[in-house]
Amino acid sequence: MNWLAHVLLSEDKVDFQLGNYLADPLKGRAWESASDDLQRGITVHKLIDSYTDTHKIVSLSKSRLRAQGLLRGVVIDLTYDYLLSKHWEKFTTIPKERFLSEFYENAEKRAPSFPEQPQLLVNNLIKQDRLNKYNSLEELHKALMRIDTRLSPRLLARESASSYIDDIVRMQSRLEQDFLDFFPELCIYLKVHMDDRYIKHWRVYE
């Protein structure tokens, strides 16, 4: 899963949400004075990744793109964020615009107390509105092209993230069904690791 899913699949506490977002760039380790909620967010990020990476539906989605490819996992992560944006109301009671506005506002207030690197990461997240970049196939294509700018020339000679857009369009209905089958299972799995008082915005179908 990508950034939007990680922030949504958090307890409704800004430190928890930020830990879930910052886990990758911080390589899964918080700074010494980080709050318990932020550290728990990092832990849940790891749970999301491990569950997703080994799930048969996600593996099926990757195989729908092409038989092989080093970037299939990254492409599915972003595609699932696009599909989460498309089906947002199925999984949460809060309108997406309000959810993002409240998260950005709270994150902006919290960031100045963080060390320099995570503070910069949070400020860039807000400034670039990174959680709101997957609202259409066109925006998804642009996100894939941004991935390409960070790839090594050696990898780009083999494949690019943006080259998958035709596969995504061709298989969109099947990928969409994959996502709609998978995401509720992910929510149910994560629920046991959460405090029920702070996930009332989730729609969890058991």
pLDDT at 206: 58
Q: Does the structure show a pLDDT above 90 at 152?
A: yes
173 band by pLDDT with thresholds 50, 70 and 90: very high
Mean pLDDT across the stretch 179-191?
Answer: 97
Is 127 a residue whose pLDDT tops 90? yes
**Crossing angle (nearest 10°) for helices 72-86 and 137-148:** 150
Cβ neighbours of residue 58 closer than 8 Å, sequence gap 6 or more = 52, 76, 178, 182
Look up the pTM and report it: 0.94
Structure-block tokens of residue 11: 């307890």
pLDDT in tens, 59-112: 999 999 998 899 999 999 999 999 999 999 999 999 999 999 999 999 999 999
